[in-house]
Every structure is written in C-alpha cells, then in structure tokens.
Amino acid sequence: MGFYRVICIGLLAVGLLSTVGQTPTVANEDAEVRFTAEEANWLSKHPTIRIGPDPTFSPIEYFDDDGNFEGIAADYLRLLEKKLGITFQVEQLENWNASIEKAKKQEIDVWTAAVETPQRAEYMLFTEPYLKVPAVIMVRDDSEKDNLTIESLDGMRIAVVEGYAVHDYIVNSHPHLQLILVPDVETGLQKLSFGEIGAFVGNIATAARYAEVAGIGNIRVAGNSGYFYKWALANRKDWPLLTSILQKGLNAITTAESQEIQQRWISLGTRNSLWTPEFIFGLISIAFLAIVVGMLLWTRSLQRLVEARTDTLQRELSARSEVEEKLQKQKNLLDEVGSLAIIGGWEVDLRTNELSWSTAMFHIHEVDEDFSPNPAASIEFYAPEARDTIIQAIAHAKKTGEGWDLEIPIITGRGRHKWARVRGQCEIQDGEVVRLFGAYQDISYRREVQKDLQRSKEELATQLKEVEYSHQQLEDQASALVELAEEQKSLRDKAELGEKSKAEFLATMSHEIRTPMTGILGMADLLLMEDLTADQRKQAQTIKGSGEILLTILNDILDQSKLDAGKFELSNSDIYLPDLIESSLELMNDRAKQKTLSLAYIPEEGLPQGINIDATRLRQILTNLVTNSIKFTETGEITLNVKRLSEDEKTEKLCFEVTDNGIGISQEHQQRLFQRFEQADASTVQQYGGSGLGLSICKQLVELMEGEIGVESELGKGSTFWFTIPLRHAAADMTPFAAPEAVGIVTSKENLKILVAEDNTVNQILITALLSQAGHSTFIVDNGKKAVVAALTGLYDLALFDVRMPVMDGPEATKKIRSSGSLNSNLPIIAITADAMKEHLPRYYEAGMNAVETKPIDLPRLLSTIDKVLRAAKSGGAISEEDKQVTLELVKPALGDEQKFIDLCNQLGKETIQDLLQQTPDSLIENVDRLKSAIADKNKGDIRSAAHAIRGMSSSMCAVRLALFAADIEDRAEKSQDVEVLLPKLEETIRETLHWWARISELQLRDIA
C-alpha cells in the first residue's frame, strides 16, 4: 500500500511540473462583444470618449518625444477601440494631478490606468484590474538598510508621487510616516539619488524605466511595501453604463493578446538556456522519484521498517515543502522585479557567437526593435576612442573569467553622443568561459551633473581666493574704523558736555524771562478793556500780539530745554478725543477766519472716542501743525483727518494728518525741517517769522509717545504733515463734556452749536457771520459726505444742509444720517436752498429733513424756523404743514432787491460785505468756466451743478435777475445746445449784477469780461 502511494505522488509531481510555462487556452478568443439595447443606445450618443493619461508614467502610459500616446495602457486602449467601436480622444496634460482635477470637473471621461482608492471612488467608477505590479521600497546603494517594510520606514523622509494610489494607501494606513510629495517618478528618483530623501516608494516597472532613462545607477530595491498596483480602467461616476461596456471590452481581450502586450513592455526577453530553474527542479524531482522507487525495490525486505518510518518522513517532507514554497515565492518575486526592470541587459553565447539584447538596449542605442545585434556591430556603437578599451576588457574576461565595470562614451543610431556604464560577467563551464552577460546603463545625465559639479568646484575655488583677499581688506578697514570710532567718541563726549550746558542755560533763562512776560500780557489785556482811541487800541493790540509771539517762543525754548535735559515726562490720562480735537480747532478758528481760511475736521468712521494719552501734549502738537498751516496758507481750506491704522491684531495706531494748499516745501528743505532752529529757507523766516523750534519739539514729543512724524509736500502745491501714536483705549467708556441743553429755546439768545454743509465759500462766510451775530457757533464742511461723518461723530444741536453739493447732496446726506442707527441719527436738519419749488419740497421731507429755508437768507425767519424745529424735536413731533410750505416771492424785473441787500449790509457790517463782494467775482468766473466746460462735454450733471452754484450765491446776495437766469439754465440742462445759446446773456447779466452790487455798496468791483 505504501509503495503504490509513493509512486502516485511522484507521478503527480511530474505532471504538475510539465504544465509550467504553458499559456492557458481561452475559449471563444474571437467572440464578438454583445451589448444590451441600453448600452448600444448609449454608445450611439457618445461616439467619442475623452481620456487623460498620466504623461510621465512609462512604461504603463506616457507620451513619447513626438507626442504619441504609448505604453501598456495605450496598447490595451487600441484593442478596446477595435472590439468596442469606440473612438478615444487623448488629451496630453501636464501631470497626473492635472488629470485628477479634470476628472473631478468631468472635463475628461476615462482614466486608462488607475488604481481604485476610497478618495477616487467618490467621483469615478472602476472596472476589474487588468494589470498587477508591486510597489517596492528603493534606497541608495550606500544605504545599510535592507529587507524594509512600510512599518520600518518610521523616522525616514519618504518620497511618493502626489496623487498616485500608493500615496493614498500610505496616508490611509500609515498616517504617521513623513511623506515628501513629488510631481513625478523621475523627480523622486533624482531626490533619492542625491540623498535628499531616505527612500522612494513606487511601482517597480515605472521606477526601473526612469532610472534607466535618467542614468540613475546608485539606487536599489530594498524591500516590498506590501501594496500591489492593480490597474484598471475608470470612468466618470455619472456614466455607469460605460463601466459595463469597458468591462465587456476587457473580457473580450484574449490571454495571448494580454501576454503579447506585457512581454512587449515589461519583459527582458526569452531565456534561451535549457537549464531553467523549473527544468532543474523537474529533474531533481524525477531523480528523487527514481531513487525512492529503486530504494523500495532494493529494500523490499525492509518494507515494514519503511512503513513504520513513513509518517516521520512525510512530516519532514511537509516541512521541507513549506520551506521550498517560501523560497519559490521569493524567487518568483525577484523574477517579476527583474522582468519589469528594463535597465538594458545583454548576453553573448561564445559557443554560437550570438548576441541578445533586452528591449531597453534598443532604446538606449536609439535603433528600431527589428535591428539584429551582433558582437561586431555592437562594437561600432562605442565611440572610436573607447573601442580598444571595451575590446581589451572582453578579451581579458575570456582569458581570466574576470568581469568588468566601465564608463565609456557611445554613439547612438541617431548619431547622438552618450555615456554608458557597461558591466560584464562570465559564465564558466569546465574551466572555460562559455557566456558573457551583463547590464548596460545610460549615465549621460549623471556625467553632465559630474561635469557641472567639477566646474562649480573650480569656480568655488576661485571665489574662495577672492573671498580671502576681500577678508584681508575688510580686516584692514576694520582696524582703521576702530581708530576713527575712538576719535569720534572723544569728540562726541565733548559735544554732549557742551549740549548739556546749553540746555541748562536755556532752561534757566526761559524761566527767568517768563515771569515778567506774563505781567506784560496781563497789563495789555487790562489796557484793552479801557476806552481807547483807535490808535491807542491798535498800539495796545500790537503789544499784546508781540507778547504772545514772544511767549510762544519762550514756551518752545522751555520745552526744548526739558527735552534736551531728559526731564520731560508725559502725563497720560483717559480723555474724550472728539472734545479735545474740536476745542483745539476752536482755539485757531478766529485766526483762520482772519485769513478767510476754513478749518475742516474729518474723522474716520468707527474712530474710538475714549483714549489714554497726554492731552496737553497732543493738543500742543495739533495746535502747532494747524497754526503752521494757517501761517503758510493764504486761501483755501485746512483739513484735519484722523484715522485708525492696524499693523496686526495687537498693534493699533492713530494717524493725524493736517493738509493745506499753502506754499509747500521743496524736497531739499524737507530733510532738515524737523531740526531745531530750522525753517524752509531764509526768505520764509523773513516773510513769516518764527523760531524754528515748533516742529522739532513736535517730533520729540511724538517720539516720546512712541510714534512717528513726517511730511509730504510739493513746492507751490501745499503740504500734509502727519504723525502716528499708539492707540491705547480708555479704561472705561468716555462721554463728552456736558453742554447746555439747546432745545426748546424761545429766542435766539441760546448759544447753539450748528453744523453747516455748504460748498460755496461766499455762502459759508455769510451764514457763519449771520449765525455768529445771533450768538451761535458754526462748524463748516463743504460736501455731503463730510457732513455725514461730522454729524455722526460730533455733538451738534442743529444742522443746516445746502440741497445741492458735490460728492453727496443734502437730501442724500440726510438719508445716510437717518438710516445710520446712531445716537445722532435724529439730529434736526434744515435744508438751505435756492430752488424750493413746491414740486421739489416732498423730496426734501421724504429724505428726513425737518424744514426748508430759501435763499437769500432772512435771519429773523431762519431763527424762527430753528426755534420751531427744535421745539418739535423736543416734543417728538414735526413742524406744522403750514410751516412746511415755502412761498417764493414773484421775481421782480429789476436786477435785485435793493432793500433786502441794504438790510443785509447793515446786518453784516461794511467789512464783512466788502469781504464777500471781493470774493464774489472770482466765484462767478469759476462757475461760468465750469458751465462752459460742461456744455462742451455735454455733461448734464455738471451743467446743473454750475448753474445751481450761481443761482444759490445770487439768491443769497439778493441778485434776483441773475438767480432767475441761472434757474432757467438749470431747468434746460437736458439740452446743452439750448444752454449754450444763453451764455452771452448770462455773462451780460453777471456784469450788470456786479455793477449793481458796487453801486449799492459803494465799492468798485472789477468787471469779469
């Protein structure tokens, strides 16, 4: 029984060995692909399918130098086109990531070689895999690491191609590993070759291909990642029918066709030797079987003993079989890796003189695959100067059996010059070399890198010599600088001692002079309170003015001495910023009015109200800068802007800007402007006076506050002085100083704080003068946008808004204020207009205005309207409908209303009227020029704006005919040609009106013609 059992086992082993290497027979290899009706209908609607291959994934899929789609996937695709009748449209993209992004957007339909991952399954459907290749771990040749697994890579820098399946695999299964993402396989291998990373993980086929092409010879496979690429076709997720169609196409591809494709791209060639491992193993098995049979026949007498030990022998054989199976698996893996690694291989059978090349050899030598290599022809590929070297190496190997490893130049079939690393080994039988074989590697890239490195090394040596020379020069210069520094230190010590003595002297003298000067100014004030003649009053005012100037200079000297002596200390406290700024400007308002300048304060929205600062020194800086602007500006406006600056979440600053349109400062003089006793130039000192200490003190005060100060200016065009200080918020919410309640007044004797928005300078002066006579103070802005900011950030009892202004008109500004939700959103607002027609009144009231006053302004009527509005606001109601109706008097045919103009002159006084009438011609000329330009440009809005400005000013100055004419032009603005016809008559009416004003006021005004 035991004897026959052994015989059967032996025959079964022989039968199994005989099947190794055979190709399985596939039934119906030419079977036609059959589609369902739904699939056929879908194909008819989608004759062309877009694909987006990985352009650098050789040999799986790639584009050659001519832009042709090649590789394993490309060959499968061509078979599918024939079997399915589909046309695939290939798009050459930049890299695999670009293909992924287009697939997500459904800008391509199919991937030709993709591994299914959870991330990709969210937007793509996959067929069954048609190709399986392991992902291996590669390291440098000089690395001591071996038999690596993914788990053993912890702590190493590992490169993978971004977006590849093995990238998703490692991220999902080993998220703790340190991954370096590269755009393609070639970049990853180069980083590994140069030692920038510790390992590269990728599929062996592509890695071997690019190592060969790039000439990278210092890397090796050191382990298996445990992951296998299972490449399949994938299509967009909204086309499930296409998945079924593609799978049917793959199923229709025969085994022979698949083997032909894979052997074309991933095989090193067929082994010609009979002594294959399978054959040797078969012979060993047969020999073992024969020995067993012989032993059983020869030892029949010992049959019982054999049967007794059979169980023991079978256990030993089972254990040995397991070991052999493991060895066979490792051998198969190595065979698979070797067949995929297309690093050129060659062999020469010295008995037949036959030379065989791998596919990569044809690529390296740039010859067609139908080229028949032979030993003599292959020598011709070596450069002439290298042929003797390789011939001698081969001869030496045949004689001694020793191999060779050479780096020599070659010339390809296309005439290109390359460098190759040629390695050869010998197979010896019976003491004779019968076969030569080896590897052939293109190392052109490496040689170029070496050449570049050598060139860089030589250049670096030259630069090092230059650096040494420069270093010696720097040491010599450093010695000279040390000597110079010691000399300068001695001079600086002497200068500081002199500066300290001067500062102490200035401090003492300032205190000594300040005491009698206070007495002089006090006595001058008392003298001015007496009943003096005009000459005496003028002389007393001169004394007081001179004393104030001298006191300012003394204060500057005292501050400067404190700063120099290091005794100046800031006294910070919580303040209400709007009150400080407004009170500072009020101090300088009279001085500005004397030069007919307007002061404007424009705070940024959201500006903090309560801050922590030295209020006295902040007021001193603001006063100095605004005073300078007033001093050096003859006409126009001086604007103070305050805004918040943020460098980051923790650092905030306040920025103050004082802007004027004065004489300006040249670039040369700006550089020394903040130095002591310095002004722009000598002529400035002679014309405007001053000590030249103010700006120096401002600079030092700002720096004490940890801020910065500077100037932006252009000669003849004005200046902007700015400074920044750190924003420190007040510890508690700050409120403005209590002001007397202004609502509910019966007469105009209460002192109201009134915001006036008027763009015409003449009207600004007129309204300010009238309200000043009534005991009210005004704050002027020249457009609606500034009015909104002022109303929402300041404290006013009432506002007067002109209806038409640049940037934003009065009704629009009122809407902004009413809709702001601010505490000041209910500020009473009265419209001041020259066109209060009945059809226009609803617009003003709908915007939220409380009342309307017409020009020319009648002071008693205006005060009455103010009283009615404030009473109504206090009671929470509105003025009566009767009070809302504005009646326009019939226009008289005369030039103007003489009686009203005379009353106006009496109210304002001769000096104010003279000042107004001196500015009126310039204002009229400016608006007439604007009107002409607007007519030429056919700009309806500018025509209305210019005409409205003329109309408003004329109405305010009682010039009825001119106001009527301007109103007519305003109404005709839609047709610029009609307005142009009226221009000569308008200019004539202006000349007549100027003469009329001059006659009544006994002034001689220049004609505008």
Please state, in angstroms and rounded to a whole number, the distance separating the CA atoms of residues 198 and 914: 92
C-alpha–C-alpha distance, residues 894 and 891, integer Å = 8
For residue 168, the model assigns a pLDDT of 87
- The mean per-residue pLDDT over the stretch 43-60 comes to 89
For the ranges 99-113, 540-554, 615-629, the maximum mean pLDDT occurs at 99-113
CA distance 658 to 694: 15
Report which residue type is found at 698: C
Give 333: exposed, middle or buried? Use CB within 10 Å, 0-12, 13-18, 19+.
middle
Across the beta sheet with 432-442, what order do the strands follow?
354-357, 345-349, 432-442, 417-429, 404-411
Confidence band, pLDDT 50/70/90 cuts, at residue 769: confident
DSSP string, 196-228: SSSEEEEEHHHHHHHHHHHT--SEEEEEEEEEE
Between 910 and 261, the more confident residue is 261
Residue type (1 letter), 288: F
Average pLDDT on 649-675 reads 85
Q: Using alpha carbons, select from 865, 864, 839 the residue that is nearest to residue 852.
A: 865
Of the pLDDT bands very low, low, confident and very high (cuts 50, 70, 90), residue 972 is confident
pLDDT of residue 282: 53
The answer, yes or no, to whether residue 307 has pLDDT greater than 70, is no
Q: What's the confidence (pLDDT) of residue 690? A: 55
Q: Which pLDDT does position 641 carry in this prediction?
A: 93
Best CA proximity match to 421, nearest among 452, 401, 445, 395: 445
The predicted model gives 47-57 an average pLDDT of 90
Among 94, 126, 122, residue whose Cα is nearest residue 250:
126
Measured CA to CA in angstroms, residue 777 lies from 223, 774, 787 at distances of 91, 9, 16
SS (H, E, C) 87-148: EEEECCCCCHHHHHHHHHCCCCCEEEEECCCCCHHHCEEECCCCEEEEEEEEEECCCCCCCE
**Top-confidence residue, 999 or 864:** 864
β-pair partners for 719? 660, 713
Residue 812: what pLDDT?
95
Mention every residue, 6+ apart, whose C-beta is less than 8 A from residue 927.
946, 949, 950, 953
Is the pTM here over 0.75, yes or no? no
- Rounded mean pLDDT of 371-377? 90
Residues 6+ apart with CB under 8 A from 212: 342, 343, 344, 360, 363, 364, 441, 442
What is the percentage of the chain residues whose pLDDT exceeds 70? 78
Average pLDDT value for the chain: 79
**Confidence band (pLDDT; 50, 70, 90) for 267?**
very low
- Choose among 149, 114, 117, 144: nearest CA to 130: 114
Q: Give the pLDDT confidence score for residue 749 in this predicted structure.
A: 54
**SS (HEC) of 433-488:** EEEEEEEEEECHHHHHHHHHHHHHHHHHHHHHHHHHHHHHHHHHHHHHHHHHHHHH
The whole-number average pLDDT for the span 697-714 is 91
Stretch 642-656: mean pLDDT: 85
pLDDT digits (tens, 9 = 90+) for 473-495: 888 877 777 877 777 777 777 76
Mean pLDDT of 230-255: 92
Residues 611-620: pLDDT tens digits?
A: 999 988 898 8
- Of 221-235, 426-440, 954-968, which gets the smallest average pLDDT? 954-968
815: β partners: none
Q: Which three-class secondary structure state does DSSP give residue 60?
A: coil
Closest CA to 84 of 49, 126, 116: 49
The Cα-based distances of 787 to 528, 579, 801 in angstroms read: 39, 18, 8
- pLDDT band, very low/low/confident/very high, at 1005 (cuts 50, 70, 90): very low
Q: How confident is the model at residue 266 (pLDDT cuts 50, 70, 90)?
A: low
Describe the crossing of helices 534-565 and 444-528 by its angle, rounded to 10 degrees. 140
Residue 656 tokens, joined: 């103050």
Flag the least confident range among 197-211, 877-891, 961-975. 877-891
Q: Answer left, alpha or beta for residue 633, where phi above 0 means left and psi between -120 and 50 means alpha.
A: beta
| Interval 556-597: pLDDT, tens | 666 666 666 566 678 788 888 988 888 788 778 877 887 888
SS3 call for 57: strand
Both tokens of 440, joined, read 């052939």
**In the predicted model, is pLDDT for residue 331 greater than 60?**
no
The pLDDT > 90 percentage for the chain reads: 27
- The H or E element containing residue 901 is helix 898-908
Q: Tell me the mean pLDDT in the region 638-648.
A: 87
Strands annotated E in 834-951: 851-854
The pLDDT of residue 546 = 66
Query: In this model, does residue 412 exceed pLDDT 60?
Result: yes
pLDDT score at 90: 93
Kindly state the DSSP code that residue 728 receives in the 8-state scheme: -
Q: Among 279-288, 515-524, 597-606, 780-789, which range has the highest average pLDDT?
A: 780-789
